Structures are given as structure tokens and as C-alpha cells.
Amino acid sequence: MIASNCKDSVEHLLEYLDGELNADLRAKLEAHLSGCSPCEDFWKSYSATPGLCRKALIAEMPREVATKLTDFLRLEMNKSK
Amino acid sequence: MSLDAESRKVHGAAPLIPSEDTELLTRAQRGDVAAFEGLVERHRARVFGLALRMLNSADDAAEVLQESFLSAYRNLQNFRGDAQFGSWVYRIAANHALMRLRHRKVVNQVESPLDGPQFNERGSLVDEVSDFRDAEGEAMDKELREAIEAGAARLGDEYREVFVLKDLEGLSYEEIAELTGATVPAVKSRLHRARLSLRAAIDHFYAERS
Ligand SMILES: [Zn+2]
């Protein structure tokens, strides 16, 4: 598919971010992005999304979860001793 | 293999625990419980994080955490030294989390529609896009964190699992395809939809704020 409009461009952003678009499609996509500021902004926000999510979704493990895990494993390991 | 308090004191003493997984693993495979506990301590937080993000429930995540390390313990002798202990245990955890998701799905089948960009009939973007690239370098805002958490929670399971495994855990498309039983193109397509939806959640947050 030719990246001729915004919709086509958006469809190719994952492959573009992965560096997996072939030269022809990449050139067409880049031509569209440089001439379409909504898409250029969209691209920037799309490529920033995984990093922002990674940062936001770092989970803290509650202390009691760790304690329960240790107790559980000790009990189970004792069973199989 | 002894678990009594005295042996824990001896083997569990900090200077005796080597920092490398491989050393701990070798000792754990010989039946050293303290060494196995050392491995657990090094990897439990990440395993919990993976399970929590995939399952979206702290209780389920705590159970998957227990199941995963018990399974690792029981299969310790089958583990080949040429792989990383960490990747091996994350794979086990991803499997357990996926099994739980599949089971839960039967009980709780509600898929909310994904958010994505709006186009007009000519295929042009009609939404205004907020600029949030600069936010990458900043400390994470509490409200933004909550907006992203809510956005991730709203994703359907099949989208969230792919997003967690790829964008949070860094697995390859092939590994994810193998774990989920989906094809690589399907994995990519789901990841793309998940990112579009999360991008929209972040965009919405910035649009509301400005
Ligand atoms: Zn465009």
C-alpha cells in the first residue's frame, strides 16, 4: 500500500519505528510526514508512547507480597525435601 | 536440602551469596535452598511487574509470582546453563499469566473498543495531536501515570499481553508469537492497536491539561 494519506501513514508507523519498512515505502512515508504536520506530530507521539508507558508502568512489589512468596516457597520446598 | 533456621543463617549470610545468577544457579541445582532464594530475590520484582501488568490484578499477580517460582524450582534440574535464568523465569511467568488470562476470559468476556485516531473520508487525520515528546525526559507525573495505567487497563487482554511482553518486557515478536500462539503479523497488528490506544490516552491527558 502506498503511504499517500494520513491513514496509510499511521498504519505503517510500527514497521517504520522498527526500521522494517522497505526503501520505497519509507521514502513515501517520510515524504508524507514532512509535508503533513498533524502526521508529524502523530509520529512523534506514537514513537514516544512505548517509553512513556514503560516509565509509567514500573510496578513496585509490596513488601507483603515478597514475604508471602518466601513463606510459600519455603513451605513447598520443605514438602519436596 | 535443609530449611531450618540455622542453615538459613549460614547459607543466607550476605557475603556467601554471589552476585551472579550463574553461581547461584549452580548452587541451587545442587540443592542449596539459600541460593535458590537468592535467585528469587533478584528476579521477583520483575516477575511481579510482568504479571501485574498482564493481569491487571495485584492478587492474581501475587499468585502467578508464587506459581512461577515454584515451577522454576521444580524444573531447576531441566534448566540448561546456556540460557539466562532471568529470561527463563520470565518466560515461565508469562506462560502462567497467559494461562490465567485465558481462563479468566471464559468468565469475564468484556472487550472495550480501542481508541485510535480519527480520519475523514479522504483518510486525513482530523484530531489535533498534543506534543508530548518532551515529557519523555521528565520525571513521571502522578496524573499521567494514572492516565497510562487506566489506558493499559482498558485494553483488551489480547492487546495488553502483547504490549506488556513487547514494550515493557522487550521480548521479540517471535517469542511473543510462540507464547501466545498468534502469528507474528497478528502480534504486530495487536501491538500497533495497543500503542494507538495508549497514545490516545496520553494525548487526551495532555489535551485536558492544556
Ligand atoms: Zn498526514
Report the 3 state secondary structure along chain B. Answer: CCCCHHHHHHHCCHHHCCCCHHHHHHHHHCCCHHHHHHHHHHHHHHHHHHHHHHHCCHHHHHHHHHHHHHHHHHCHHHCCCCCCHHHHHHHHHHHHHHHHHHHHHHHCCCCCCCCCCCECCCCCECCCCCCCCHHHHCCCCHHHHHHHHHHHHHCCHHHHHHHHHHHHCCCCHHHHHHHHCCCHHHHHHHHHHHHHHHHHHHHHHHHHHC
pLDDT reported for residue B209: 81
Predicted confidence (pLDDT) per residue in A19-31, tens digit: 999 999 999 999 9
Residue B32 CA to residue B26 CA, distance in Å, equals 9
pLDDT of chain B, 210 residues: tens digit per residue? 344 433 333 233 333 343 578 889 999 999 999 999 999 999 999 999 999 999 999 999 999 999 999 999 999 988 876 678 888 999 999 999 999 998 886 655 556 667 888 889 888 998 788 877 556 666 778 899 999 999 999 999 999 999 999 999 999 999 999 999 999 999 999 999 999 999 999 999 988 887
Average pLDDT over residues A35-40: 93
Q: Cβ of A3 under 8 Å from any chain B Cβ?
A: no
Return the pLDDT at B109: 55
Q: Do A69 and B40 touch (CB under 8 A)?
A: yes
Chain B CA closest to residue A50: B167
Estimate the share of chain A in helix, then strand, then coil, as percent rounded to the nearest 5.
75, 0, 25
Residue A1 lies in a domain: no
pTM for the predicted model, two decimal places: 0.84
Segment 4-63 of chain A within 8 Å of chain B by CB: 4-8, 10-11, 13-15, 36, 38-39, 41-42, 44-62
Average the pLDDT over each of A50-54, A56-60, A64-68, B34-38 and give the range with the smallest value.
A56-60
> Does residue A65 belong to any structural domain of this protein?
yes
* pLDDT at residue number A2: 46
A59 within a domain of the structure (yes/no) = yes
Please tell me the predicted confidence (pLDDT) of residue B99: 94
The rounded distance, in Å, linking the Cα atoms of A62 and B172 is 29
State which residues form the domain around A71: 6-79
Answer whether residue A53 is part of any domain. yes
Q: In angstroms, how far is CA B72 from the centroid of its own chain?
A: 17
Tell me whether residues B148 and A14 touch, CB distance under 8 A: no
Cα–Cα distance, A1 to B108 (Å, whole number):
38
The number of folded domains in chain A is 1
User: B3 and A66: CB-CB below 8 Å?
Assistant: no
Q: What is the CATH number of the domain that holds A15?
A: 1.10.10
pLDDT at B110: 58
- What is the CA B180 to chain-centroid distance, rounded? 13
Residue A44 resides in a domain: yes
